[in-house]
Amino acid sequence: MTQELITLPAHKYALSLHTTTPELGLAISNFADATRSNVWNLGRDLSSYVHQYLIDFIQPQTWADLEFIAVAKGPGGFTGTRIGVVLARTLGQQLNIPVFGISTLAAVAWLHKNNNETAIAVEMPAQRGQVFGAIYQVNSHTLDITALFPDTVLTPEAWQDILANCNTEYQLIPANSGLAATVTNILELSYLEWRQGKRPNWSEALPYYGQHPVEI
């Protein structure tokens, strides 16, 4: 029996944030007739200006219009990732609405989803010569995404071994730049989870740095 998906209440919106790079990505949508997004290259000024950019961006909507929030939880830069997750958690706590932490790599995979359902392998440079790697399967019919190999930090050699032993056809996508533009994909992935009835508490949104999640 197919699960009936929930739809967003009238006049409600969802907001997503992407701060895992020096760029700030923001997106807002009611998933009906109003969606907008923007990306700003703030560099080292990200922490100083993110709040003002967000306040300006959300208008003419208000905080009370938000049904849930989504945030890129990493992998990515340590400081930027932390800024975004802390901001999303704070808003979720103050507004008493769900907060979805979405993988940066999953958002890239979702951006490159294809009709032939080939798996998407995403790789991103990490510190100390390592890489972040993940393999995702996207079902274009049910619009589900599954991690065949979850986000992991590993040596380039180990990542190549994972790819060589992958038992399914895949498309390799390097995630090197322009990641903040996937803020709309972050929003779409969170909406899929919301429609399935998931309502994560703000405290469940934790950054992924390539190690065990840390409490904020």
Average per-residue pLDDT for the chain: 91
DSSP character string of the chain? -PPPPP-PPTT-EEEEEE-SSSEEEEEEE-SSS-EEEEEEE-GGGHHHHHHHHHHHHHTTS-GGGEEEEEEE--SS-HHHHHHHHHHHHHHHHHHT--EEEE-HHHHHHHHT--TT--EEEEEEE-GGG-EEEEEEEEETTTTEEEEEEEEEEE-HHHHHHHHHT-SS-EEEEE--S-GGGGHHHHHHHHHHHHHTT----GGG-----SSS----
Is residue 115 scored above 90 in pLDDT? no
Q: For 105-174, which CATH class?
A: alpha beta
**pLDDT value at residue 118:** 87
Would you say the pTM of this structure is higher than 0.75?
yes
Mean pLDDT throughout 45-50?
A: 93
> Where do the domains of the chain lie?
13-104+178-204, 105-174
Mean pLDDT throughout 183-195?
A: 96
Q: Do domains 13-104+178-204 and 105-174 have the same CATH topology?
A: yes
Mean pLDDT throughout 163-179?
A: 92
In this structure, are residues 21 and 38 in contact, taking their beta carbons and an 8 Å threshold? no
Vertex 98 angle, CA 197 and 28, to 5°: 100
In this structure, are residues 135 and 146 in contact, taking their beta carbons and an 8 Å threshold? no
> Of 38, 113, 82, which Cα lies nearest the Cα of 122?
113
* Pairwise CA distance, residues 113 & 122, whole Å: 12
Is residue 1 scored above 60 in pLDDT? no
Is residue 179 scored above 80 in pLDDT? yes
In the chain, pLDDT over 90 holds for what percent of residues?
Answer: 80
When the candidates are 3.40.50.300, 3.30.70.360, 3.30.420.40, 3.40.50.2300, the CATH number that belongs to 13-104+178-204 is 3.30.420.40
Is residue 148 scored above 50 in pLDDT? yes
What's the token pair of residue 183? Answer: 């803020």
CA distances from 90 to 64, 85, 87, 93, 142 (A): 15, 8, 5, 5, 32
**pLDDT value at residue 48:** 93
Mean pLDDT throughout 96-124?
A: 93
Confidence of residue 9 (pLDDT cuts 50, 70, 90): confident
**pLDDT value at residue 139:** 81
**pLDDT value at residue 3:** 55
Q: How far is CA 127 from the centre of its chain?
A: 20
> Of 127, 27, 29, 35, which Cα lies nearest the Cα of 74?
127
